[in-house]
Chain A
């Protein structure tokens, strides 16, 4: 089975901190994604990457950046955390054909 592992299940950070959310997949997938999930809003795409060092903005990239230095790892960076970034963050990976992306268990981030 494909595994997508997110480094933390729960995270509490202070306003203004720089926050790193890590995601690792073990199936050599080209595509990796970061979504955020909020009640009543569903999943919204923040960034995705289709190859090492390649990235594309999603629907809500403001306040975030990403890094993909190795194929298996895709990091989401909150440059200066704010309370409105309190959310569940979900990482996913999948092959180019796009069928059946696999999701990690999520990181619930609270910014205080």
Chain B
């Protein structure tokens, strides 16, 4: 079945460091891929998405590229801030399905 695997956390960085959170997926066909972010005490917010191979999603300085050949959608940011501290979820939706399938989440903690 379809699944999403993302790197386990927590990830601890200093402010202005480079961030990578790895995400790989298993799915048939061409799924749509998403990153969601959950700030403390809140629900999930869509951060970025990509709907076909080689698409790059970007938002708030975060980027992720849909790599069909490696079935990956890694999240990157060049310079993290304390306010980026949150839990990040990678997710997919396949062509036939309706619901999103989520990874287990990666906690990011940024210190000043």
Contacts and interface: CB of A to CB of B under 8 A. Distances in A.
A98 B43 contact: no
A45 B102 CA distance: 9
Contacts of A41: 104
A46 to B, nearest CB: 10
A48 interface: yes
A101 B100 contact: yes
B99 A58 contact: yes
Interface residues of B, number: 22
B89 A42 contact: yes
A90 B51 CA distance: 24
Interface in A55-104: 56, 58, 90, 92, 96, 98-104
Interface in B13-49: 32, 34, 36, 41-46, 49
The range of chain A's interface size is: 20 to 34
Contacts of A96: 98
A98 B104 contact: no
Interface of B: 32, 34, 36, 41-46, 49, 51, 89, 93, 97-105
Question: Which has the most chain B C-beta neighbours within 10 Å: A42, A56, A96, A101?
Answer: A42
Contact of A101 (B42, B46, B97, B105): B46
A7 interface: no
A92 B43 CA distance: 9
Contacts of A110: none
Contacts of B89: 42-43
Interface in A5-40: 31, 33, 35, 40
